Copies of this chain bind each other. A is one copy, B any other.
Amino acid sequence: MRTIKPEPALTLADHKAAILRDNRRVTSYDVALVAGVSQSAVSRCFKPGASVSKATYARVMKAAAGLDYIPNAAARSLITRRSNMVAVIISNLANLYYPEALSELSREVGRRGKRVLLFTLQEESELEAVLNDVWQYQVDGVIAAATLSDGQVAEFGRRRLPLVVFNRNPRGQAANTVACDQYEAGRALAARLAAAGHRLFGIIDGEQDNTVASERRRGACEQLAELGLPAPVIVRGAFDYASGKLGLREIIARGNGSIPDAILCGSDMMTIGCLDCARHELGISVPEQLSVAGFDAVEPSNWLSYNLTTLRQPIQQMAAAAAELLQNLMECSEGAAEKRMFAPQFIEGATARLTPPASIELAA
């Protein structure tokens, strides 16, 4: 007569080794096997409100922890109400400022264990449609590098969806915000160039619905008016290289062929276009005959062919601040809206004359 030995129970260690050997993902069936319960019991343990005994629940949780079991993300997000996704709404990536911002935002959001769900806008007018799409995804929060209406900001509140507005700061809007003071940046750049003796200004502005460029333009215009200088010639652009070239030609045409002393561009991409057109198409020497300056300090602004006079936005610091602010909002959504404002940094570069010409110095 042979003694029949019972099959030894499957230990946690054995089972983990088997999963590792098969190079596969831990499933609810593995948890069931180790806990000695049915798969449906495991499933019930991870479903809120489902009926399960305390003893079963304890065994399942112990086995799940031991196996590093992660329930299917969608199932988990129903339970925790966390998807570990942050929606980033960002304008057309062709303006080089945005890829740099997106890269930093992705890194900072990633550091906090979350991933970016990307919503790109071809133009700001698409925002309403994009928001309707955002609501369909269960994101934990939203970073919007776009100008929202007060009604859109309120809609986030109604949905209790944390929102950080990035690189935009519409006057009087009570939203959590990380931005630079573009109005002050515009004032500062105009003041600096006026102090160097420039009197006739042109401005290549951004698109009508873009508050970043319009704040910069408003700051520059008010500063020039306060200094008693003539109102600048203002033309519109679309933030791209071609707009800078066209803008310069239009400003000269509006002045009946005369070249202003300085041109301020709403973005560095336009500054580069303006500069290339001046030097390579119109034969205007910069900065001797014309000063050209911009905003953003995107990477090419620093290349030897350009070396722009510009104002740098601290993108890295701003991205870190946005991710941190959003994290705080996700943990506690109460309290007043917070605005984190950064000062842009002046880059002297070599495309604008920054000291008064000798004749003015003598006259002073």
A interface, CB within 8 angstroms of B: 23-25, 70, 72-75, 77-78, 83-85, 88, 92-94, 96, 98-100, 102-103, 106-107, 110, 115-120, 122, 133, 135-138, 155, 158-159, 241, 272-273, 276-277, 279-281, 299-300, 303-306
Cβ–Cβ contact A118 & B120, under 8 A: no
Q: How many copies does the complex hold?
A: 2
Q: Is A117 a contact partner of B25 (Cβ separation < 8 A)?
A: no
Which B residues are in CB contact (< 8 Å) with A72?
78, 138
- Which residue of chain B is the closest to A47 with respect to CB atoms? B47
A299 contacts across to B, CB distance below 8 A: 94, 241
Task: Determine the residue in chain B with the shortest Cβ distance to A305.
Answer: B305
Contacts of A92 in B (CB 8 A): 103
- In whole angstroms, how far apart are the Cα atoms of A110 and B133 in the complex? 10
Q: How far apart sit A135 and B92, CA to CA, in the bound complex (Å)? A: 29
Instruction: Determine whether the beta carbon of A116 is less than 8 Å from that of B117.
Output: yes
A96 vs B115: C-alpha distance when bound (angstroms): 22
Residue of B110, B120, B241, B303 near A110 (CB, 8 A) is B120
Which of chain B's residues have a CB closer than 8 A to the CB of A155? 23
Taking a contact as CB atoms under 8 Å apart, the answer to whether B106 and A118 are in contact is yes
- Complex contacts, A241 vs chain B, CB 8 Å: 299, 303
> Are B93 and A120 neighbours in the complex by a CB distance under 8 Å?
no
Which residues from B are CB-within-8-Å of A73?
Answer: 136-138
Given contacts A118-B117, A137-B73, contact A303 B25 (CB under 8 A): no
Q: A281: which B residues are within 8 A, CB to CB?
A: 304
6 more CB-based (< 8 A) A-B contacts, given A23-B155, A84-B137, A116-B117 = A72-B78, A74-B78, A74-B83, A99-B99, A110-B120, A281-B304
With CB as the reference atom, state the residue of chain B lying closest to A109: B118
On whether the beta carbons of B118 and A115 are closer than 8 Å, the reply is yes
Please give, as numbers and ranges, the residues of chain B lying within 8 Å of A93 by CB-CB distance.
99-100, 102-103, 106
Which B residue sits closest to A87, measured CB to CB?
Answer: B115
- Are A303 and B118 neighbours in the complex by a CB distance under 8 Å? no
Residues of B close to A304: CB separation below 8 A: 276-277, 279-281
A138 to chain B: which residues have CB within 8 Å?
72-74
Note all chain B residues with C-beta closer than 8 A to A273: 303
